[in-house]
Amino acid sequence: MRPDARAVEDAPPVGAVYLVGDIGSTYTKLVAVEAGTGRLLATAAHPTTVGGDVLDGYDAARTALLDAIGGPPEITEMACSSAGGGLRLAVVGQERLISAEAGHRVALSAGARVVAVTSGRLDADRLRELRAASPDVILLVGGTDGGDELVLRHNAGRLAGARLAGARLAVPLVVAGNVAARDDLVAMLRARGRLALPTANVLPDIGVLDPQPARAVIRQVFLDHVIGGKRLSRQPRFGELVRAVTPDAVLDGVTLLARTVAAADETAGDVLVVDVGGATTDVYSAVNHPGEEFGPARQAVAELPDRRTVEADLGVRWSAPGVLDAAAAGGLAVDDLAGPAARRAADPALLPLDPGEASVDLRLATLAATIAVRRHHRQVAGHGLHGVTHVVISGGVFRHAPAEARQAALASLRTDPVVGTLLGSAGQAIDGHYVLAAAGLLARVDPRTGGRLLRRYLIRPGP
């Protein structure tokens, strides 16, 4: 299949160019961004070649992209990836409502798909559950700094020698609990042959959540151990190219978007991003004016100003039946969608080849977005998200829908009592060129260019 490559701005580049890729489970998307100006020169997409070497599809898109911008200028390449299922992470905590919840929030902020959360003392049943979840990384948390160590030490000991079905539970361990016990536990785990990486406590005190050190270590584990372990490519270049798991990059893009919005208008409020995919629907929010709602007096586990929730039962392909179940439970009309949803779950590669099928996709995506935003709001209500002024809708269904149909779908989204109240009169944009992930990667190396990219293509009213 030939790559789909399109020029976005006609003028050729006048200087260096960033070539930024998002290697997804289904499609690999690339964009060419002019350094300094943030001009989006061209985009390209190709089906991800997961069955072979993922760089085959990447290189095909890369060649088409360079052709679209008129040749190979001075380029810097980087990418994020969710191919092969992205980053699967399990959280082992001391108790569900505090330490395990803190670990769960940190894992989501790191772009992980949280496949298991267990709390309390690990026993044989819980170890079997961990094994069945097949995590790429385990985040071990428990106790505030200087507080209780007993459960944390017990769980580290069980993980150190865990043998399930005759095999060691051999995945990297990020130890982010009570610092009084951390060094001893890391030494013990390493002595038992486990890959253990220490970092700061995610919950150093009640009501204080410190995600960034653990998030950085999780990201590095993904790059150093998970990417290669998934055997997505035989080429060392793949490991050098990928800088982050895709949701991690998108969250960085949302954070940069909020900062860019606030810099342009100090009265601007919060930012909300809804990304509807085939298997999940992700919702991101960034609070520009968190205020005292994030103080330790309000809750045992502080909220993060930049947050992500993942709805694994809401998607327009693999999870399409889950959309209908959730919509019906939420009082939304699902009409005659049962048959089309079942067909999509049975054939995730289905393409909407006629207007009727495209309309079904848009209805499913709108339902998924409505339920996902309701759930996100429920989780963060009362903790800062109340003044949304900028909304970004992402996902292939919305990108490819005709403008009129897309406007009708977004108008329908706003008629929901919960969603409509949250969004109010916020301006909205469609991430039609996959710039959020690109801006998130650029935020780490050239935030000025990343911010200008967002100003050009997402900070504007209307779809």
**pLDDT tens digits for 380-407?**
755 556 678 899 999 889 988 888 988 8
* H helix and E strand count, the chain: 17, 18
Strand, helix or coil for residue 395 = coil
Work out the pLDDT band at 364, boundaries 50, 70, 90. very high
Q: Which structural domain range is residue 317 located in?
A: 246-457
* % of the chain residues with pLDDT over 90: 54
pLDDT at res. 297: 37
If asked whether residues 180 and 206 sit together in one domain, one would say yes
Beta-bridged to residue 40, according to DSSP, are 33
Q: Cα–Cα distance between 4 and 6 in angstroms, integer?
A: 7
- Phi, then psi, of 388 in degrees rounded to 5: -70, 125
At 373, which helix (H) or strand (E)? Answer: helix 355-380
CATH number for position 379:
3.30.420
Cβ atoms 144, 204 nearer than 8 A: yes
Sheet holding 388-394, edge to edge: 306-311, 281-286, 270-276, 388-394, 427-430
Distance separating alpha carbons of residues 406 and 380, to the nearest angstrom: 27
Q: Is residue 238 part of a domain?
A: no
What local confidence, expressed as pLDDT, does residue 385 receive?
63
Token pair in block for residue 12: 């050729």
Tokens of 281: 């629907």
Does one domain contain both 270 and 411?
yes
Q: What is the pLDDT of residues 405-460, one digit of tens each?
A: 888 888 988 999 989 988 888 888 999 898 999 999 999 999 999 999 999 999 85
pLDDT at 294 over 60: no
pLDDT computed for residue 305 by the predictor:
67
Which of 185, 203, 229 finishes a domain? 229
Rg (CA), the chain: 22
pLDDT at 460: 59
The Cα 45–Cα 60 span in angstroms is 9
92-114 tens-digit pLDDT: 999 888 888 889 888 888 888 89
Tokens encoding 457: 């293509």
Domain boundary among 29, 53, 84: 84
Across the beta sheet with 113-119, what order do the strands follow? 113-119, 88-93, 137-140, 173-175, 196-198
In this prediction, residue 369 carries a pLDDT of: 96
Mean pLDDT of the chain: 87
Helix H or strand E encompassing 243: strand 242-245
| Same-domain pairing of 301 and 436 | yes
Q: Are 62 and 19 in contact (CB under 8 A)?
A: yes
Let me know whether 303 and 421 are in one domain: yes
Q: Domain boundary residue among 84, 118, 147?
A: 84
Pick 194 or 378 by higher pLDDT: 194
CA atoms within 13 A on the CB side of 120: 5
Of 85 and 345, which is predicted with more confidence?
345
Residue 300, pLDDT > 70, answer no
Highest mean pLDDT among 179-188, 204-213, 281-290 belongs to 179-188
Q: Which DSSP helix (H) or strand (E) runs through 357?
A: helix 355-380
* Percent of the chain topping pLDDT 70: 92
pLDDT score, position 293: 38
In this predicted structure, the answer to whether residue 308 has a pLDDT above a threshold of 50 is yes
